[in-house]
Amino acid sequence: MEVIPAIDIRGGRCVRLVQGDYDRETVFADDPAAAARRWRDAGAKRLHVVDLDGAREGRPVNVESVERIVAAVDVPVQLGGGLRTLEVVERYLGAGVDRVVVGTAAVKDEAALATMLERFPGRVLVGVDARDGVVVTDGWTDGSGIAMGEFVPRLAELGVERIVYTDTVQDGTLTEPNFAALASIMSSGPRMRVIYAGGVSKVEHLRRLAAAGAEGAIIGRALYTGDIDVAEALAVGREVAQG
């Protein structure tokens, strides 16, 4: 299972929010590129970067910080936050981002999502962000009214091969993942690859997520606070991948 450190950017700095609440922010690094190098040097094979300002404003905001991360490390970077149009997706992929995570646009513009999937096969993931089983959008500030159990099968029908599922209630809380929600996704019809995020705070959680079928796990706050040792997490990821 792939263990992916998270780098969330707000105002040009590396931060973590609690449950996506922009008023509950902790700054962990003034330089996101330095954080990227830290996780790369520790052995991470992929990084998950989110432009938090972009997610809320619906357009790229921390472009310079993203570009500096891509230039600073030689591992693949997947990026989410404010990627609402084909032009923006194309620009970031052309600038060296390996994969993009499209959230709000996937909910509000299925035609645009279909075009992205066709133009960039294997490089467009959908971010399924949910609160109490309902998909949320616009930096988690708006409820879509769409049940997760309805949304995920719809994505499969559109040809989405991989999603990043984030439980927004658990995210940043250092509690535990929503294993029940993951199980529901894995049994909801056509199978797709699932990367889980939200509440991962112990290495044992990685084993349980892998057993439930997750392809990967994104870890944020727990790495920055030291609740999870990155080297141990990466070792567990390799261990469960090898069976």
- In the structure, what pLDDT confidence band is assigned to residue 190 with cuts at 50, 70 and 90? low
Catalytic residue annotation:
8, 129
CB contact at 8 A, 168 and 131:
yes
pLDDT digits (tens, 9 = 90+) for 32-69: 999 999 999 999 999 999 999 999 999 999 999 999 99
CB contact at 8 A, 140 and 172:
no
> What's the predicted TM-score (pTM) here?
0.94
Provide the 10 A C-beta neighbour count for residue 241. 13
Average pLDDT over residues 199-223: 96
Q: Do strands 124-131 and 162-167 pair parallel, antiparallel, or not at all (unpaired)?
A: parallel
CB contact at 8 A, 34 and 12:
no
Q: Which pLDDT value is given to residue 21?
A: 82
**Helices marked H in the chain:** 32-41, 52-57, 63-72, 86-94, 104-108, 110-119, 148-158, 179-186, 203-211, 221-225, 230-241
Distance CA 155, CA 237 (A): 27
Q: Which pLDDT value is given to residue 154?
A: 92
Provide the 10 A C-beta neighbour count for residue 93. 18
Q: What count of residues does the chain have?
A: 243
Q: Which pLDDT value is given to residue 173?
A: 85
- In the structure, what pLDDT confidence band is assigned to residue 142 with cuts at 50, 70 and 90? confident
What domains can be seen in the chain, in order of their start residue? 2-241 (3.20.20.70)
Query: How far lies 236's CA from each of 159, 208, 231, 240, in Å?
Result: 31, 11, 9, 6
Distance CA 59, CA 139 (A): 11
